[in-house]
Amino acid sequence: MIGSRRPIRIGLSARIFHPEQDARGIRSKTLQVLEQSVAQWVMARGVLLLMVPSVVQDGILMRSNIRLRDYAENLDGLILQGGADVSPRAYGEEPLRPEWSGDPVRDAYELELLHEFMEARKPVLGICRGMQLINVALGGSLYQDLPTQCPGAVAHESEAYDGNAHAVAFAEKGQLTRWFGDATGGQVVSIHHQAVNRLGRDLVVEASSQDGVVEALRGTGRGFVFGVQWHPEFHQQAGLELLDCSPILEAFLAAARP
């Protein structure tokens, strides 16, 4: 925080875990959570981060008059975090395999949330699934499974999880080249098996991997809309030479600053 200026207020979309069959206790409840690393990455800049819960106006437990639009009106920006697959039905396809069905409940919540922030002209940053959701929201589609639908030389996920990294190259004369100065790309943490297929309207590619997979995209309409397929919140780990993604976060927060 700078002086007496109020902190930037950023909303973070929730990961949703649904009740498990025959479970007891907390596992029998709907859980909405955030991943600690992404929270710490953002809050290190003195940002007030608030997880935005899905809004159930006609819930079984109690009724709420709060709308997702209220969050868009009262917060300065939105980060869409990673997690479950986007359902292929969100872009007009049927799942090729049951395990690629995604989470339609989370899709509906985040698509509405994204729409409200874009309508309010508030900046949006999408991470991994978040980037894919931006693409789908703007009429694009996804590869349901990269290894089978778009096989390439790059491993976009592995058992190493956040230890899996590969190189990305920035688009020539793109926004990333301006934010990063002389850099033309770098190593990023990659944990995904879905990826952008058909690009959504008013979106341009900002980075790609050597096999052509879209690794970053930017909205060309009014307002700040940016997405990265990698996980910048995992880049502060020792032992890997990873791209310092501070310029992306700083640009997002500059757009959000009241």
For residue 165, the one-letter residue type is A
Which entry of 156, 166, 192, 231 is annotated as an active-site residue? 231
Q: Which residue has the tokens 């089978």?
A: 148
User: Which tokens go with 141?
Assistant: 């589609």
Is residue 233 flagged as an active site residue? yes
Torsion of CA 85, 89, 92, 94, to 10 degrees: 90
Report the alpha-carbon distance of residue 107 to residue 194 in Å, rounded.
Answer: 15
Give me the catalytic one of 110, 116, 215, 233. Answer: 233
CB 78 within 8 A of CB 72: yes
The single residue of 128, 166, 206, 245 carrying the catalytic annotation is 128
In 3D space, the residue among 99, 76, 74, 101 whose CA is nearest the CA of residue 86 turns out to be 101
CA 193 to chain centre: 15
Q: What CA–CA distance (Å, rounded) separates 130 from 111?
A: 10
Distances (CA, A) of 208 to 73, 137, 185, 228: 34, 20, 9, 10
Is 245 designated active site?
no
Please report, as a single letter, which amino acid is at residue 116.
E
150 a catalytic residue: no
If DSSP codes are grouped into helix, strand and coil, which group holds residue 219?
strand
CA 138 to each of CA 80, 101, 217, 233: distance values in angstroms, whole numbers, following the listed order:
15, 20, 12, 25
Q: Which among 41, 26, 116, 128 is positioned nearest to 75, based on CA atoms?
A: 116
SS3 content of the chain, % helix, strand, coil (to 5): 30, 20, 50
Residues with catalytic roles: 128, 231, 233
